[in-house]
Amino acid sequence: MDDVELTSKMASSFGSCDSFYPKYGAAVDLMNEKLQERGARLIHDGLKVELTPEEEDVESCKDFGRTFASELLLNKQES
């Protein structure tokens, strides 16, 4: 990603995490850091789900998608 220009692009990350590891969701955090480093505007802090999504997690995933889509539409209307 070091060669990718993301200035003013909207982005976020999500992933399955495992609380067994010392740093929960490190890949999501690392991706968000890299996105910001490359100039992207983060829409969300990132979504972390423990291993396989439970019913509650599925709803969080849907909300995450809705929020991201809404922000994209709002940004498009403002441009």
Please give the residue range of the domain that contains residue 34. 10-78
The reply to whether 4 falls in a domain is: no
How many independent structural domains does the chain possess?
1
The reply to whether 20 falls in a domain is: yes
The one-letter amino acid at 72: L
Residue 37 is part of a domain; what is its CATH number?
3.40.50.360
- Give the C-alpha separation, 27 to 78, whole Å: 32
Q: What is the mean pLDDT of residues 53-68?
A: 95
The reply to whether 2 falls in a domain is: no
- Give the C-alpha separation, 58 to 64, whole Å: 10
The reply to whether 21 falls in a domain is: yes
33 Cβ neighbours under 8 A, 6+ residues apart = none
The reply to whether 16 falls in a domain is: yes
39 Cβ neighbours under 8 A, 6+ residues apart = 5, 6, 7, 8, 9
Q: Is the pLDDT of residue 79 over 90?
A: no
pLDDT, residue 55, reads: 95
Taking only the tens place, the pLDDT of each residue in 13-60 is 999 999 999 999 999 999 999 999 999 999 988 999 999 999 999 999
